[in-house]
């Protein structure tokens, strides 16, 4: 496999088996663990290879028996846990205090899950019931009709708002799918020959996987309610988890952690810890019983029966010998550059002068971490920087196939845009534009209060040419400096519009100033019912200069309305934005809004990238030209693009009524 998982660090703090793990998109440096020692631990991750991967920040105590499961709310503020003491507990993570205790089960509670909007909680127990709760601790419904006839071992909410279901698994060998609205049975999935320990749902909500005593992982289609295929793990399965950004399914079995590639439908890796002591012939060593991915999909965490959590970061697996064998024989006078980015691409040599050794000279897919330069005068090689570096105020995740999610991540400042955040926008979207594994992009803001409150005025007034101490003082020269400064920010923001992949904005809360600048560069705009829009610039003494005034009138919004809101800086809401055509859909809350944006991006990602990128390019070109010019441009464009293999494959898929996948572009 092109990527490899290697055990690198440990987290030690529990005095019992680590039964459950959870991570948060809102706080990537936090890990929550549950244990048979009756406690939970909030960990602060330091990510030190070969040693302690983090340290306990806070212990959560309150349960008086084994803690069986835990999950973190989507806003990262709360956690819910289940226990063999027959209760659930809702924890405020910032203080470690129990805010609610949920009482109602008559036997050990084995599993718990939060809904995507944090409004509902589901639990399953040894009393063979499934209970649906609100966050106040009130049991709203108990599912017993056509329920499990043995222990309910696992329950999970689907993250897909278009198909709101609960999935449960039990010791009766059934996987059951329940309609969330009615709590009625939708589907019984049958196939396992032993009790089921675990079920997990894919990030887009389309698939679920189950596993247990029989050592078989079964994949189920939640949209079409059918069995897809099975994967053999070879030993009892304790836990399953989908990777958030790769076609991987990870299984914690009684003997090892197995990584399945879902595209190839095969096992591609197997992981076992390296122990300091010798394991006897009658001992199998510590077993992994819980799994969880970091939100960015870069690290797999596993909880073991020796009370240790082990971190397993992704590592690239490419040997120099494999690349050297592909070097053409006539490379003696030039440096040769190779892209071995993906398993379905051949290594492509590109020559350039041997004196050019800058690691930032753009090669084929210049940002890719598997681009390597070799020089005939040296036996060394230099690897390019990581594909997506860590940004201080943005978080990039991959919630579905071919979908990237860019989140403005400065919630303590209402996601206000500081000076360093402008160039980061261009860097991010330039990388997304050339990434063949991305076909659509979602943009949202972290936290509950704001998509972005606009320009960070305090920061902008103390740095750059707007600062009082800025030079030069000559008016003409200062004008040249300011013009260059404004033009540079315009270019940085325009990288969103220039991205060849469709960009979908999901906006909530305050969406002032820069929020309009950024979102008018996008292709589709969604918002929440509570959103507050404002072209705020006139209130701080300037005309909007980053793109709003140039782009908003071309979105189909009435010119009179555009001038009204731009000249007054008045706040307008979701209903008005929808009426004027600024947004196309309105949702009740942020979770639904972002989920719908991801689902739209996933749907776009299933289409031919040649067709999708061509459609975006032609619409944008037509916006700036006459109909005759646009038609002529379209004819020239399709004269080339109709030669793609995608046309024939798409046509045949319609005839055969079969889903087709398209090659990366």
pLDDT in tens, 333-344: 334 444 443 333
Model confidence pLDDT, tens digit, residues 48-85: 665 667 889 899 999 999 999 999 998 888 999 999 99
Confidence of residue 313 (pLDDT cuts 50, 70, 90): confident
What is the per-residue pLDDT for 280?
A: 56
Percent helix, strand, coil in the chain, to 5, is: 20, 35, 40
* pLDDT of 382 higher than 50: no
CA–CA separation, 135 and 115 (whole Å): 11
Tens of pLDDT, residues 217-236: 999 999 888 999 999 999 99
Q: What are the structural domains, with CATH classification, of the chain?
A: 9-275+288-315 (2.130.10.10), 318-387 (no CATH), 394-605 (3.90.226.10), 609-656 (1.10.12.10)
**Range in 35-49, 379-393, 531-545, 618-632 with the lowest mean pLDDT:** 379-393
Summarised one tens digit per residue, pLDDT across range 279-311 is: 555 566 899 999 999 888 888 999 999 999 998
- List, in order, residues 6 or more apart from 629 with CB less than 8 Å away: none
pLDDT band at 321 (very low <50, low <70, confident <90, very high): very low
- Res 366: pLDDT: 32
Higher-confidence residue: 658 or 474? 474
For 413-451, how does the pLDDT look when each residue is reduced to its tens digit (9 = 90+)? 999 999 999 999 999 999 999 999 999 999 999 999 999
**Contact residues for 135 (Cβ-Cβ < 8 A; gap 6+):** 90, 100, 118, 119, 120, 121
Separation of alpha carbons 436 and 342, rounded Å: 9
- Per-residue confidence at 19, pLDDT binned at 50, 70, 90? very high
Is residue 371's pLDDT more than 90?
no
At 479, is the pLDDT very low, low, confident or very high (cuts 50, 70, 90)? Answer: confident
Q: How confident is the model at residue 481 (pLDDT cuts 50, 70, 90)?
A: confident
Q: How far is CA 663 from the centre of its chain?
A: 22
| Strand blocks (E) in 385-498 | 394-400, 403-408, 440-445, 450-452
Give percent of the chain with pLDDT exceeding 90.
Answer: 63
C-alpha span between 142 and 122 (Å, rounded): 10
Grouping H, G, I as helix, E, B as strand and the rest as coil, residue 510 is strand
- Under the banding of pLDDT at 50, 70 and 90, the label for residue 372 is very low
The reported pLDDT for the residue numbered 576 is: 96
pLDDT at 47: 73
Q: Residue 92 and residue 80: Cα distance in Å, rounded?
A: 9
Residue 575 CB coordination number (10 Å): 11
Answer whether residue 405 shows pLDDT above 90. yes
- Position 306 scores a pLDDT of 94
Spatial separation of the C-alpha atoms in residues 55 and 8, rounded to whole Å: 15
User: What pLDDT is attached to residue 464?
Assistant: 64
Neighbours of 527 (CB within 10 A): 28
pLDDT of residue 339: 42
**pLDDT tier at 552 (50, 70, 90 boundaries)?**
very high
Q: Residue 435 has what pLDDT? A: 93
User: CB neighbours (10 Å) of residue 449?
Assistant: 16
| pLDDT given at position 16 | 96
- Per-residue pLDDT band for 465 (boundaries 50, 70, 90) equals low
Residue 458 has what pLDDT? 79
Q: pLDDT tens, 566-592?
A: 999 999 999 999 999 999 999 999 999
Average pLDDT, integer, range 479-508? 93
Provide mean pLDDT across the span 317-342. 40
Please, what is the average pLDDT of the chain? 84
Residue 658 reports pLDDT greater than 90:
no
Question: Where residue 361 falls among pLDDT bands split at 50, 70, 90?
Answer: very low
User: 604 phi and psi, to 5 degrees?
Assistant: -65, -40
User: Is the model's pLDDT at 160 over the cut of 60?
Assistant: yes
As a whole number, mean pLDDT of residues 181-194 equals 93
pLDDT in tens, 630-647: 999 999 999 899 899 888
Residue 272 in this model has a pLDDT that exceeds 90 = no
Instruction: Kindly provide the b/e burial profile for residues 217-249, where b requires at least 16 CB atoms within 10 angstroms of the residue's own CB.
Output: bbbbebeeeeeeebbebebbbbbbbbbbbbebb
Contact call for residues 152 and 130 (beta carbons, < 8 A): yes
Return the pLDDT at 269.
87
| pLDDT score at 466 | 62
pLDDT of 349 strictly over 50: no
Tell me: the pLDDT tens digits for 95-138?
Answer: 999 999 999 999 999 999 999 888 899 999 999 999 999 999 99
Asked if residues 125 and 152 have their Cβ atoms less than 8 Å apart, the reply is: yes
Tell me the backbone φ, ψ of residue 411, rounded to 5 degrees: -60, -30
Cα–Cα distance for residue pair 236/69, rounded to 1 Å: 19
């Amino acid at each position: 496999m092109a990527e490899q998982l290697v055990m690198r660090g440990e987290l030690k703090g529990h005095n019992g088996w680590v039964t459950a793990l959870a991570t948060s998109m809102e706080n990537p440096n936090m890990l929550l663990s549950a244990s048979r020692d009756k406690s939970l631990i909030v960990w602060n991750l330091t990510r030190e290879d070969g040693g302690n991967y983090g340290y306990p920040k806070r212990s959560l105590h309150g349960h008086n028996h084994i803690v069986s499961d835990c999950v973190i709310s989507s806003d990262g503020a709360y956690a819910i846990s289940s226990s063999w003491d027959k209760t659930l507990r809702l924890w405020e993570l910032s203080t470690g205090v129990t805010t609610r205790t949920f009482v109602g089960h008559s036997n050990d509670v084995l599993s718990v899950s939060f809904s995507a909007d944090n409004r509902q909680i589901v639990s399953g127990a040894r009393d063979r019931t499934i209970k649906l709760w609100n966050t106040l601790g009130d049991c709203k419904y108990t599912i017993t009709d056509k329920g499990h006839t043995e222990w309910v071992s696992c329950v999970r909410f689907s993250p897909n708002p278009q198909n709101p279901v609960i999935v449960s698994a039990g010791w009766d060998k059934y996987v059951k799918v329940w309609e969330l609205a009615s709590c009625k049975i939708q589907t019984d999935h049958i196939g396992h020959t032993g009790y089921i320990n675990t079920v997990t749902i894919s990030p887009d909500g389309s698939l679920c996987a189950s596993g247990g005593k029989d050592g078989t992982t079964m994949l189920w289609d939640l949209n079409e309610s059918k069995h897809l295929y099975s994967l053999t793990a070879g030993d009892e399965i304790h836990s399953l988890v989908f990777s958030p950004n790769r076609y991987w399914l990870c299984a914690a079995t009684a003997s090892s952690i197995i990584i399945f590639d879902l595209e190839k439908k095969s096992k591609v890796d197997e992981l076992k810890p390296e122990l300091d002591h010798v394991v006897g012939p009658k001992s199998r060593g510590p077993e992994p019983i819980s799994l969880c991915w970091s939100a960015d999909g870069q690290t797999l965490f596993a909880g073991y029966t020796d009370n240790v959590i082990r971190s397993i970061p992704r590592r690239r697996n490419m040997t120099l010998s494999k690349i050297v064998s592909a070097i053409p024989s006539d490379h003696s006078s030039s440096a040769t550059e190779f892209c071995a980015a993906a398993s379905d691409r051949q290594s492509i040599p590109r020559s350039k002068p041997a004196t050019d050794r800058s690691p930032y000279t753009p090669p084929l897919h210049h940002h890719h971490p598997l681009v390597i330069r070799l020089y005939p005068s040296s036996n060394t090689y230099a690897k390019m920087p990581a594909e997506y570096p860590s940004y201080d105020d943005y978080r990039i995740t991959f919630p579905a196939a071919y979908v990237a999610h860019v989140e403005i991540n400065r919630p303590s400042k209402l996601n206000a845009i500081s000076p360093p955040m402008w160039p980061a926008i261009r860097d991010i979207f330039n990388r997304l534009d050339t990434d063949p594994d991305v076909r659509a992009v979602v943009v949202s803001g972290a936290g509950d209060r704001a998509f972005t409150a606009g320009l960070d005025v305090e920061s902008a007034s103390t740095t750059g040419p707007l600062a009082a101490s800025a030079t030069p003082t000559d008016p003409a020269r200062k004008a040249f400096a300011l013009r260059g400064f404004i033009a540079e920010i315009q270019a940085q923001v325009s990288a969103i519009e220039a991205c060849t992949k469709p960009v979908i904005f999901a906006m909530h809360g305050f969406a002032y100033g820069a929020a309009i600048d950024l979102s008018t560069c996008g292709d589709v705009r969604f918002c929440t019912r509570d959103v507050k829009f404002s072209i705020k610039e006139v209130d701080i003494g300037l005309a909007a200069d980053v793109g709003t005034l140039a782009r908003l009138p071309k979105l189909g919004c009435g010119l009179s309305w555009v001038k009204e809101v731009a000249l007054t800086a008045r706040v307008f809401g979701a209903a008005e934005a929808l009426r004027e055509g600024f947004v196309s859909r309105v949702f009740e809350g942020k979770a639904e809004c972002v989920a719908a944006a991801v689902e739209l991006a996933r749907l776009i990602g299933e289409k031919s990238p040649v067709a999708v990128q061509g459609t975006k390019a032609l619409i944008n070109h037509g916006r700036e030209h006459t109909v005759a010019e646009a038609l002529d441009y379209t004819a020239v464009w399709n004269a080339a693009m109709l030669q793609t293999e995608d046309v024939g494959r798409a046509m045949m898929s319609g005839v055969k009524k079969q889903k087709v996948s398209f090659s990366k572009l």
